[in-house]
Structure 1
Amino acid sequence: MPMQASQPELRTTSAVTALEVHDMTVAYRRKPVLWDIDLTVPEGKLVGIVGPNGAGKSTFIKAVLGLVPLASGKVEIYGKPYDQQRGVVGYVPQRESVDWDFPVTALDVVLMGTYGRLGWFRRPGAKERDLARQCLAQVELADFADRQIRQLSGGQQQRVFLARALAQDAKVYFMDEPFAGVDAATEAAILGLLQNLRSAGKTVFVVHHDLQTTQEYFDWVILLNMRLLACGPVDTTFTTENLQKTYGGRLTILDQAAEAVRQRAPE
């Protein structure tokens, strides 16, 4: 897919920082939801954002994207504020947050991913429609381009939103639980897509709830529970000790995660 013409060329080595967060605090009605978050993530990583329910995982993504205000701190994407980097960022929200009754086709939704490139006064043309169809093909929905979005299954709807993100041709993607509520085939297809993005030098942040697949799916992990408990390569960060700190001794979850860690540990 073509890169945005005005977008500066970005290096694709892990020495480049994709996301840097300093002293991020977010509060709702004066009650902190995220507190004093500091982290740095290099580009080209597939990053799992992991923590218990209510830990602030979705809020973290929304705060990075300016969708909720910061009480303090700053966020930089490739060394600049998000407002200056919108063209290199893609976002896939939680499926439950979308009004699926809106009367648009799958192709219409994917075309929305091209709007940032076109600007305010241009409408998508044949080039953009061809790109949108290519993106639908990448998520195995080429035959559903003219289907009303509300007529698709939950997994198909999720794939359409991933195709929209692909049409943005971003450098950094933020995805809020893309694996939630999908069948095994769709989960495998989504994972393959995320791995392809990483192979292309993209950086992908994924809110994820399944501890047993975290090490298999990601090479970097952020452990979050209102505060940052750990951030780094999954092999050294996704440990039983760090999970204990993150989940506070919720034994069933921790036992499952610890077993997953043991099964994947080298002999």
Structure 2
Amino acid sequence: MTFGSLTFCTLLFISYAAPGNFSPPPRLIEGRIVGGNEVSIVRHPHQISLRRRTCTECAYLHDCGGSILNEDTILTAAHCVVNRRVSNLMVIAGTNNRAGSDGTVALVSKVVTHELYNASITDYDVALLLLTTPLKFDHLFIAPVALVAAAPTAGAKAKVTGWGTVSEGGVLASRLQVVNVFVQDQEQCIGAYGARITDAMLCAGVVEGGKDACQKDSGGPLLVEDQLAGITSWAIGCARPEYPGVYVNVSHVREWIVSNVAANSMCKLK
């Protein structure tokens, strides 16, 4: 990153600081929020809707979630973008709504997927989206999220947000949702899913079930103490007591995120 690039991003912030081929196994459903509540984007201004169009004249429709890292970089799940045309991807920031024309629109110029991404087990399910036009932070509706420095401990309280389905196989939420879950011990996670679980994954849920991410929540944030600890990735079904949600372990891929933001972004990581 050059001094000039960083200056551009800083000035941008100051100026506007006013009021494919692979289908994930059955989420092994792609991660909507089940058992949650409606929440304002003001509480989660890092949350974006990743929208996609499937034909030339089609509208862009919500497909996945994502988190703002800096003015021109979004973090999401690799399975949301592999085998997708970059020209068919659009990011919407700063809105509570899954559909409609409100919010800030940004097209995607480049996708960077983790080199170790393994579609067969959804491992290293992480990707960066570089935007054609930097976002304008107002720190109310649009703001970056910080990455955790270390993996959260088992039992840590966590929050998941998104516009995904409100029940397994159900309808998408029209307004942003949040649900409270707990980070699980890695042995519990392996007990549920076996050898499919790797160090690049972590599990979160509640023992009794009923609270989880679900379809179309994929790529969105798992927050612990308001820092990004996970990326919604996969599970068997949604909110089943025996199958917690599986997330990318952000602490495990943090170095990859930081180095690839430095190599590809015009802006400083927040």
Smaller-chain TM-score range? under 0.3
* Structure with greater helix share of residues: 1
- What TM-score do you get using the length of structure 2 for normalisation? 0.25
Name which one, 1 or 2, has greater alpha-carbon Rg. Answer: 1
* Structure with greater strand share of residues: 2
- What TM-score do you get using the length of structure 1 for normalisation? 0.25
